[in-house]
């Protein structure tokens, strides 16, 4: 896992519940990332977290990060990778419901991690 991916995982585990979901911009600011391509740095790290979580059969902690423009949803790359990893249905009409379920699973997993 990259340092940025690890830092994002720790950030998402420690922020207050009412601060979730965070936007890509909020994550970049919290980690004090600097240009160029701060959002790209965040998305690359989130994609690494998705691969790690899929390999461990864990909910995507990356689902706790959303796009400012996405009406409370992650950017399209999240959905593309979730499909590629076999976790989301290929039909994009089913993505929002799959995301909502994944978001809830990630919150539940986060709560379990905080208790242990």
Helix axes 76-84, 38-55, angle to 10 degrees: 30
Our count of domains for the chain comes to 1
The contacts of residue 95 (CB under 8 Å, 6+ apart) are 79, 82, 88, 89
Statement: the pTM of the whole predicted model exceeds 0.85: yes
**Rg of the chain taking only CA atoms, in angstroms:** 13
Q: Which domain holds residue 94?
A: 3-115
Give CA–CA dist 59/33, Å, rounded.
25
Give CA–CA dist 54/51, Å, rounded.
5
pLDDT (tens digit per residue) in 14-63: 999 999 999 999 999 999 998 899 999 999 999 999 999 999 999 999 99
pLDDT at 70 over 70: no
């Amino acid at each position: 896992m990259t340092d940025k991916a690890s830092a994002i995982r720790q950030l998402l585990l420690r922020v207050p519940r009412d601060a979730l979901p965070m936007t890509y911009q909020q994550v970049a600011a919290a980690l004090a990332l600097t240009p160029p391509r701060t959002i790209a740095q965040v998305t690359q790290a989130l994609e690494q977290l998705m691969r790690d979580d899929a390999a461990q059969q864990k909910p995507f902690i990356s689902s706790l990060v959303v796009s400012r423009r996405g009406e409370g949803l992650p950017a399209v790359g999240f959905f593309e990778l979730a499909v590629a990893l076999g976790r989301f249905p290929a039909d994009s009409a089913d993505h929002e419901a799959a995301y909502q379920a994944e978001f809830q699973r990630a919150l539940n997993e986060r709560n379990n991690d905080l208790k242990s």
